[in-house]
Amino acid sequence: MLGFVGLGSVVESAWLPALSRLAAPRLRLLGVDSDPARTLPGVEPVSSLAAMLSQPLQGLLVTTNSAAHWSVLQQALDSEVAQIIVEKPVVATLAEAAALAQQLADPALAGRVLALDHWTARVEGLQTLLGGLPGGSPLHGIHDILRIDGYVRERSGCNEQGEPCALNFATGEPDRRQLRHPDGVVLDTGTHVLAMLREWMVANGLPCGLSLHLRAMTDRLGQTIPVGDVATAEGRAELAGTIGGVPLTLHLDKYAGPDGGRKGLVVTGHSGWQLSLDRKGNSDLLLFEHQGQRHELQRPGALYDYCLAACLPDCQPGIETLGRAVRQAMTRRRLEEVTLLLELQQAWRNPIS
Ligand SMILES: NC(=O)c1ccc[n+]([C@@H]2O[C@H](COP(=O)([O-])OP(=O)(O)OC[C@H]3O[C@@H](n4cnc5c(N)ncnc54)[C@H](O)[C@@H]3O)[C@@H](O)[C@H]2O)c1
């Protein structure tokens, strides 16, 4: 039995379709939403979070909007629920990040929390695709890498005023919500690139220490977010720095036009090779170029399918789920990334404090 707290767009368009595609029909799904009118087919409504937490749940899934993750997580940690999975970003403020870091120092609490980012499910596929290149992966150590660029350039539409507007990631319909911090690109999409990149570095035994600064940050209309404005969501941002000592640039844009743009990584090697991981339709696409040769490989499948199979027990028979130590290390890394991104955009908005 799994319990969802928050029955919004990500549950409807990503979690439930993934669970139904996986061999999970015998899972009973419960759900609670602060809007009692919000229910979803296949999810039994529960009257309150307290009522949910009194059930013998295998896992609790925190899928509220980001600003509410913290309070739900605190109530869940006070309950008997053994496994709590929190959608990204795990927290939404620096105060929450500091308090969670302190809580996670207690192994008993740390073992119960997984900070989830579905882009981490791209790492295993990338490793497989790299292994499928003629000659295998070009990456043997950190010194092979000259630079890394991370991208989230999302498709966008136009509203009635002719201004750029976001599109629902699954349905493609205009998303008419007025986005506010923490739902700007720095935290909302910077987390995706950093989570995937750092798990990939870890999978390759590479150092993944981060140092970043914000080069640019504008709102949906391309206007600079002024000092003191702590509410407006960032529509575009560029961050630069290093990962494991290698130069890193993040290009984040929620309003990249009707065709959208790259969603992934470009890694450039010292010896002239370049590998690019992008998302096209329902597939991850690897392009490797070196000395005039081009190799293209694909891994089809929805990211949530891979992600949930790895983190939910009994979701897909035969698939080994992440062990406790791995989950703890992943959660620690997600919290580090969220803390850094929050520090950067807070310092920009309010440099005096
Ligand atoms: N939509 C996406 O593309 C996407 C993708 C990956 C991750 N996420 C993450 O998933 C989370 C949810 O995103 P979404 O797009 O579904 O948001 P949403 O606004 O569509 O849904 C959030 C739901 O949570 C409910 N809610 C808010 N506070 C609550 C509380 N205290 N208790 C119970 N319910 C509460 C709201 O009523 C709403 O129905 C966010 O943290 C987001 O960062 C979203």
Report d(CA 241, CA 147) in Å as an integer. Answer: 10
- 305 CA from centroid of ligand 1 (Å): 19
Is the CATH code 3.30.420.40 the one for domain 120-349? Answer: no
Average pLDDT over every residue of 122-145 = 94
- State the chain's mean pLDDT as an integer: 92
User: What's the pLDDT score for residue 244?
Assistant: 97
Q: At what angle do helices 190-203 and 122-131 cross, to 10 degrees?
A: 50
Contacts of 102 (CB under 8 A, 6+ apart): none
List, as one string, the DSSP characters of 145-193. Answer: EEEEEEEEE--EEE-TTS-EEEB-TTT--B-----BTTSSHHHHTHHHH
Q: Decide if pLDDT at 318 tops 70.
A: no
Q: Which of 108, 122, 5 is nearest to 55 (CA)?
A: 5
pLDDT digits (tens, 9 = 90+) for 195-247: 999 999 999 999 999 999 999 999 999 999 988 898 999 999 999 999 999 99
Task: Tell me whether the CATH fold assigned to 2-87 matches the one assigned to 120-349.
Answer: no
Q: Whose CA is nearest to atom 12 of ligand 1?
A: 65
- 9 CA from centroid of ligand 1 (Å): 7
Q: 307-333: buried (b, 16+ CB within 10 Å) or exposed (e) per residue?
A: bbbbbbeebbeeeeeeeeeebbebbeb
pLDDT digits (tens, 9 = 90+) for 49-102: 999 999 999 999 999 999 999 999 999 999 999 999 999 999 999 999 999 999
- 191 CA from centroid of ligand 1 (Å): 16
Amino acid at 53: L
Given this structure, which CATH class describes domain 2-87?
Answer: alpha beta
- 88 CA from centroid of ligand 1 (Å): 10
Domain ranges of the chain: 2-87, 120-349
User: What's the pLDDT score for residue 159?
Assistant: 82
Q: Ligand 1: residues whose CB is within 6 Å?
A: 5-10, 32-35, 38, 63-66, 68, 72, 87-88, 169, 188
CA 229 to chain CA centroid, Å, is: 25
First to last CA, the chain: 45
Residue among 7, 9, 74, 122 whose CB has most ligand 1 atoms within 8 A, to mutate:
9
Residue 328 is encoded by which pair of tokens? 């703890």
